[in-house]
Amino acid sequence: MTTQARLIEYLEKEMGLSEDAIALAVRQAGALPNLLPIALWKYGLITTEQLDQLFDWLETPQPGQNFV
């Protein structure tokens, strides 16, 4: 599973964001998927506290993630 797929799963399951909200942010982030958290925040879909939580999650190694 890609990092973006894990991120989307996290947004749905842990943060309770709708598929529509995530799709909007994905469209706004465009070809730069690293901007997805910022797009979510920019459009008011998450709070600054949730943005911090999301950045913490992104910095934490995920199961199956390789650092080679």
Give 46: exposed, middle or buried? Use CB within 10 Å, 0-12, 13-18, 19+: buried
CB 43 within 8 A of CB 28: yes
Asked whether the predicted pLDDT for residue 49 surpasses 90, the reply is: yes
Model's pTM, two decimal places?
Answer: 0.82
The pLDDT tens digits of the residues spanning 14-40 come to 999 999 999 999 999 888 878 999 999
Rounded to 10 deg, the angle between the 3-13 and 48-59 helix axes is 140
d(CA 38, CA 41): 5
The pLDDT confidence band at residue 65, using thresholds 50, 70 and 90, is low
